[in-house]
């Protein structure tokens, strides 16, 4: 903008200090040159105390150290970069800020424009919602997942062996981790092994250990994973892939609570809680003679079967928005909403790869998105068709829940549902409803809708 008079400058200065977003401009030596009123309100520092100071003394997130990572990244990739940070204001109060930076050059000198938005209230609301809809990081509010969480709570503090079953990508490893974190052994070791990651000839040594000279290459004694997990928990993923020969040895461990290192005949007692997981139907494997029946019943003392994503469609909006937030932070993107069209498509799609496929889809969509709303574009539509969605599943109750935001629903229902789906982020809900943030606030007030609801 070219200023032609003092009037232009006063007009710009008034506008600059009237907006709600905090704005800082600093030079390449981090000296603050511009500091608006919103920034003073957010940080607690008046303008005259901030001007001329090092910006890192005013905004104090972990990455604003000598490396000045935020501004440095914006310069390297030549685009706006943002982060959500936890910091303290001048009075020492904790607050959450969304900080973005973009660099520019003026008369040969490099400057940085930093915008700051106070999102403390939003984070507090998100934390309340997240805690009510997750269990140790496993996200879900559907009836199917609530039953899983309830069962996990009831058996986690026992020492029972647990078999977790479910299709690939349903989150078996996450549930195992939740069990461990909720157990009486949470402070002990947590050892994980994917049974398909090692050749058959090495898995026994990996789990039981060996002594020096037990076989060629065994130059020293080695502690196996069962011993390493002493007083803790061991998680055996893909348990359905082990051979019948090794199944017999594992059965003995479960029965006797002891192991023998390869190359010695000394039984070693172990105190380990065993969790196992598989995407196979082990009862069917037993019928076909590929899995020992006695081992199956030892493992399945407390079986947990995880539902596929198509069986818990009402969790899809919650999962998608959490993944969007995660990848926005990872890639420095500023997306704030998922359009109704995209959300409906996500809910209706079959997701044969379950939560893992949704996670991967959202990552690609975030990286390739051109705007600040995740829309159902040609790329996304092509993905669903390419993966066999010629006849998408019929709209079920979960989709109807989202359709409450449609034009035929009462306005109060539309707004309340949009806020719920977008985790009470007013900006995201406003974009999904195709209205301005100010208009949404006004309608919420008029209709008696509280953000805390």
**Could you report the per-residue pLDDT of 328-349, keeping only the tens digit for each?**
888 888 787 888 888 888 998 8
Q: Which single residue is written with the structure tokens 């993944």?
A: 323
Other residues' Cβ atoms within 10 Å of the Cβ of residue 379: 12
pTM: 0.64
**Could you report the per-residue pLDDT of 214-271, keeping only the tens digit for each?**
677 777 888 889 999 999 999 999 999 999 999 999 999 999 999 988 888 888 999 9
Greater pLDDT, 406 or 76:
76
Question: Averaged over 431-447, what is the pLDDT?
Answer: 80
What is the reported pLDDT for 79?
53
**Rounded (to 5) percent helix, strand, coil in the chain:** 45, 20, 35
Architecture of domain 144-305 in CATH? 3-Layer(aba) Sandwich (3.40)
Give the C-alpha separation, 70 to 64, whole Å: 7
**Could you report the per-residue pLDDT of 140-163, keeping only the tens digit for each?**
889 999 999 999 999 998 999 999
Ordered by start, the domain boundaries in the chain are 6-118, 144-305, 310-447
What is the reported pLDDT for 398?
40
Q: Does domain 6-118 have CATH number 3.20.20.100?
A: no
Instruction: Give the model's confidence band at 123: pLDDT under 50 very low, under 70 low, under 90 confident, else very high.
Output: low
What tokens appear for 376 in the block?
Answer: 């159902």
Q: Can 6-118 and 144-305 be said to share one CATH topology?
A: no
Q: Which single residue is written with the structure tokens 């609801």?
A: 453
Give the C-alpha separation, 170 to 93, whole Å: 40
**Could you report the per-residue pLDDT of 270-326, keeping only the tens digit for each?**
999 999 999 999 999 999 999 999 999 999 999 999 999 999 998 999 899 889 988
What is the reported pLDDT for 419?
80
108-122, 223-237, 389-403: least confidently modelled range: 389-403
Handedness of CA 435, 440, 443, 449 (dihedral sign): positive
Other residues' Cβ atoms within 10 Å of the Cβ of residue 66: 7
Top-level CATH class of 310-447? mainly alpha
What is the reported pLDDT for 67?
42
Question: What percent of the chain shows pLDDT beyond 90?
Answer: 32
What tokens appear for 450 in the block?
Answer: 């509280």
Give the C-alpha separation, 220 to 222, whole Å: 6
What is the reported pLDDT for 9?
67
Give the C-alpha separation, 58 to 93, whole Å: 13
């Amino acid at each position: 903008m070219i200023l032609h008079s003092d009037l232009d400058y006063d007009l710009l200065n008034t506008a600059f200090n009237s907006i709600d977003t905090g704005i800082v401009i600093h030079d390449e030596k981090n000296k603050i040159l511009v500091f608006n009123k919103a920034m003073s309100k957010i940080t607690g520092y008046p303008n005259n105390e901030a001007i001329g100071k090092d910006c890192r003394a005013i905004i104090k997130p972990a990455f604003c150290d000598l490396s000045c990572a935020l501004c440095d990244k914006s310069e390297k990739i030549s685009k706006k970069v943002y982060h959500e940070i936890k910091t303290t204001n001048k009075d020492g109060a904790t607050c959450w800020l969304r900080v973005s930076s973009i660099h520019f050059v003026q008369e040969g000198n490099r400057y940085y424009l930093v915008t700051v938005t106070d999102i403390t209230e939003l984070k507090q609301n998100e934390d309340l919602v997240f805690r009510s809809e997750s269990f140790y990081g496993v996200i879900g509010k559907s009836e199917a997942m609530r039953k899983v969480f309830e069962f996990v709570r009831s058996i986690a503090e026992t020492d029972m062996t647990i078999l977790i079953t479910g299709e690939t990508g349903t989150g078996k490893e996450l549930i195992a981790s939740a069990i461990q974190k909720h157990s009486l052994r949470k402070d002990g070791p947590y050892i994980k092994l994917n049974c398909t990651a090692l050749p058959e000839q090495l898995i026994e040594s990996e789990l039981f250990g060996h002594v020096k000279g037990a076989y060629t290459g065994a130059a020293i004694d080695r502690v196996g994973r069962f011993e390493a997990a002493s007083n803790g928990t061991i998680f055996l993923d893909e348990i359905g892939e082990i051979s019948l020969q090794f199944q017999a040895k594992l059965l003995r461990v479960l029965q006797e609570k002891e192991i023998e290192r390869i190359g010695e005949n000394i039984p070693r007692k172990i105190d380990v809680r065993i969790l196992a997981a598989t995407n196979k139907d082990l009862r069917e494997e037993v019928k076909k003679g590929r899995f020992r029946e006695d081992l199956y019943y030892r493992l399945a003392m407390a079986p947990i079967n995880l539902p596929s994503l198509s069986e818990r469609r009402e969790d899809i909006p919650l999962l998608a928005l959490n993944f969007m937030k995660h990848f926005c932070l990872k890639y420095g993107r500023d997306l704030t909403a998922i359009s109704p069209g995209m959300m409906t498509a996500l809910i209706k799609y079959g997701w044969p790869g379950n939560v893992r496929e949704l996670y991967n889809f959202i990552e690609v969509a975030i990286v390739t998105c051109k705007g600040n709303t995740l829309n159902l574009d040609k790329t996304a539509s092509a993905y669903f068709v390419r993966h066999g969605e010629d006849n998408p599943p019929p709209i079920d109750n979960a989709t109807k829940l989202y359709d409450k935001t449609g034009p035929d629903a009462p306005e109060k229902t539309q707004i309340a549902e949009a806020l719920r789906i977008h985790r009470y982020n007013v900006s995201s809900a406003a974009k999904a409803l195709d209205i301005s943030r100010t208009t949404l606030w006004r309608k919420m007030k008029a209709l008696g809708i509280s953000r805390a609801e």
